[in-house]
Amino acid sequence: MTQNEEENVTSVHMADVIDFNEKKEKSNIHVEEGIRWLRQASLAGDNGAMNELAFQLLTGKLVKQDVEEGEKWLRKSADTGDQWAMMELGYRLLVGEDLDKNQVEGEKWIRKSAELEYPTAMRVLGYRLLEGLDIEKNVEEGEYWLRKAANVHEPVAMRILGYRLLTGKHELKQNVMEGEKWLQKAAEAGETIAMREWGKYLIHGVIK
């Protein structure tokens, strides 16, 4: 390769770097503008905007993390009765994800969302009651909420319920026929782990 050829390669490389930086700057501008519009919509009382703004600020994946402002918008949305916001706030408080851990308040918000029949909240509440994870264990109530979530076709709830009924482990009484029904439903709904476990069950006739 001649010296001139090397220079040409360097020039092309530099052009790529400049182009990448320009795209990055433009992308940052778009994100900042997007956040500005989300703030305006949030101030106007739009729950979807409050939820998205809260998520972006709490996680800091696309913008500078600002937990205080993120929590403010998440709480504001939850206070207006938004089911997702109540569930998200409750979970983050319960496990201490980005927010200071507060199990009592976390459980309160998850229960509020579950009582409004938000499928994910019903499943999370049910599972954590069954396991005693950050919530006092209560198998009977846990099964109740897990079944409610499964009955509205929440995929993970169907898989958990099916698996536990099939095996008769984890506090639930074994019921193979019903377990098969729920695990198959979860697999047919596209839940990845359910598809794997249902496939293994069909091949081996048993789930360990």
Model confidence pLDDT, tens digit, residues 76-103: 999 999 999 999 999 999 999 999 999 9
d(CA 12, CA 174): 66
- pTM score, two decimals? 0.84
Model confidence pLDDT, tens digit, residues 143-202: 999 999 999 999 999 999 999 999 998 789 999 999 999 999 999 999 999 999 999 999
pLDDT score of 123: 98
- Which residue ranges make up each domain of the chain? 18-77, 81-136, 153-208
d(CA 47, CA 74): 9
d(CA 122, CA 90): 12
Answer for the pair 94, 103: CB distance below 8 angstroms, yes or no: yes
